[in-house]
Amino acid sequence: MKKTAVVCVVAMILSGCAATGEQYGANVYRAGQVNQAQTVRTVQIMATVPAKIEVDNSKNKQNAQAAGALIGALLGAAAANKNSSANSRANNTGAGMVAGGVVGGALGSGVSDKTLVDGVTITYKFGEQLLSSTQVGKMCEFKAGTAMMVSTNGNETRIQPNNAESCPK
């Protein structure tokens, strides 16, 4: 039972150590941006190409360090306890816990504080201008043709997906 719990926790940590960047998608709004008048323009998407966008992953790195330290401490204490005589069990268990915590925390530090997420560079025509906007999203969400661009401030270009229904679920 203990081994299964440890394996589950380790798997959860490893799978959750990279930011998804979803919060930067064109169709994601912060609370202060809803129920507000926003400028909407119609644009013509001319081309799309894949892009990679660097996003902050420092929160996940901190979580991996803390979880690594906790798991390392538990595993270190268990290993020291199992391999100690009755007389030295308490001292060895404490030492194993500290050593395991240090090693686990150091391993958690291996998670990068930046990560790359999938994005799309969209070349679009607005009036007579040919412009480009890179945003978090999937290539399958966009196709050549008419799309809406929502702006919540001056330079922001939130080109809304115009082909999202064709993305695999």
Convert the pLDDT of each residue in 133-166 to its tens digit.
999 899 999 999 999 998 877 778 889 999 978 8
Query: Containing H/E element for 122?
Result: strand 114-126
Domain assignment present for 42? yes
Retrieve residue 66's tokens.
Answer: 């803390």
Q: Within a domain: residue 69?
A: yes
Same domain, 124 and 157: yes
Work out the average pLDDT over 10-24: 58
Share the mean pLDDT of the chain.
74
Task: Say yes or no: 125 and 145 in one domain.
Answer: yes
Measured CA to CA in angstroms, residue 43 lies from 21, 46, 50, 130, 156 at distances of 25, 9, 19, 10, 14
Query: Does the pLDDT value for residue 25 go beyond 80?
Result: no
Q: What is the mean pLDDT of residues 13-40?
A: 71
Domain assignment of residue 88, given as a range: 58-108
pLDDT for 82-131, tens place per residue?
A: 665 655 555 666 666 666 656 565 565 555 677 788 899 999 999 999 99
Predicted local confidence at residue 22, as pLDDT: 74
Number of Cβ within 10 Å of residue 30's Cβ equals 8
- Position 37 confidence tier, pLDDT thresholds 50, 70, 90: confident
Of 84, 108, 132, the last residue of a domain is 108
Q: Residues 50, 122: one domain?
A: yes
102 domain-assigned: yes
- Tell me the two tokens of residue 123: 């070349």
Q: Are residues 119 and 153 in the same domain?
A: yes
Amino acid symbol at 109:
S
Among 85, 108, 131, where does a domain finish? 108
The total number of structural domains that make up the chain: 2
Residues 50 and 119 in one domain: yes
Token pair belonging to 51:
């892009």
How high is the pLDDT of residue 1? 42
Residue 33 placed within a domain: yes
For residue 104, report the phi and psi dihedrals to the nearest 5 degrees: -65, -40
